[in-house]
Amino acid sequence: MTSEVTITNHIKIGGGNPLVLIAGPCVIETEKKTLWLAQELKTITEKLNIPFIFKSSYDKANRTSINSYRGPGLKEGLRILAKVKKNLGVPILSDVHQLSEINQAEKVLDIIQIPAFLCRQTDLIVKAARTGKPINIKKGQFLSPYEIVPITKKITTCNNPHILLTERGTSFGYNNLVVDMRSLVIMRRFGFPIIFDATHSVQLPGGEGTASGGEREFIPYLTMAATAVGIDGLYLEVHDNPEEALCDGPNSLKISELAPLLKKIKKISTISEKR
């Protein structure tokens, strides 16, 4: 069994607690759409009695093209995320890319995420860890599961044991990712809650030349497989119209497909927990 990470009084991840959903659009597009999506996600998860954490990025600093939409930026993005948090009473997760962002971001975020491409950036990890907030490490697509251990030690040496480890696929040749389900088992042995990012796992990085592609039709299958193996949380990028999403549309789940998938996941999770 993994350790327990407390996000709020009513949401705990790991330690035998129920599966948690971390979900939202890849990037903040508009305030209105962000609030609407967050409300829809809250409604769906409340009906299914699934703990919910809202995620979205205020700045996607690692887009393929310089012309790609990155988000509203730190100040405006955090304002919108703070409004989601206040209006809906849900915890917030977002990613940081620079040390200079952390002091402002920690005032709003309940979980600070270290992006996959930056998961070995020591100074960024250490400063985030020193906030005392839960830290979600996205395992880089270039790392084996064993290489996550030195990263966790960078956080625990800051007297911060509140760590989440997220699997998001591994590079397999050019413009392709695969999911090694053994990674979930291996990382669980390190004692921290395990999250599976199903939507980034079907991404085709740079697959469209100036943008990433994706194969969203495989999201349900990977999600169910990972849940059967055993995870503590599920990470999904969700949009009302993925074809028109400003970021990661090809690997985003359509929100109308979420409830049916979560019903299956909940059943599988119950069986997995008993096992």
Report the phi/psi class of residue 79: left, alpha or beta, with left for phi > 0 and alpha for psi in -120 to 50: alpha
Q: Which of 50-54, 179-183, 207-211, 224-228 has the lowest mean pLDDT?
A: 207-211
Report the percentage of the chain scoring pLDDT > 90.
90
Q: Which of 93-97, 148-152, 267-271 has the lowest mean pLDDT?
A: 267-271
H-type helices in 111-231, by residue range? 122-129, 148-156, 182-188, 219-229
Are 217 and 257 a contacting pair, CB within 8 Å? no
pLDDT at 244 over 90: yes
Mean per-residue pLDDT, 124-133: 98
pLDDT at 51 over 80: yes
Tokens 């090809």 sit at which residue?
Answer: 250
pLDDT at 274 over 70: no
Given this model, what pLDDT does residue 275 score?
A: 59
Buried b (16+ CB within 10 A) or exposed e, 120-156: bbeebbebbbebebbbbbbbbbebebeebeebbebbe
pLDDT band for 209, please (50, 70, 90 cuts): confident
- Residue 158: strand, helix, or coil: coil
CATH architecture of 5-274: Alpha-Beta Barrel (3.20)
Please enumerate in sequence order all residues whose Cβ is within 8 A of that of 64, keeping only pairs 6 or more positions apart, or say none.
205, 206, 210, 211, 212
pLDDT at 57 over 70: yes
Distance from C-alpha of 220 to C-alpha of 186, rounded to nearest angstrom: 23
What does the chain come to in residues? 275
pLDDT at 110 over 90: yes
Q: Which of 42-46, 171-175, 203-207, 232-236 has the lowest mean pLDDT?
A: 203-207
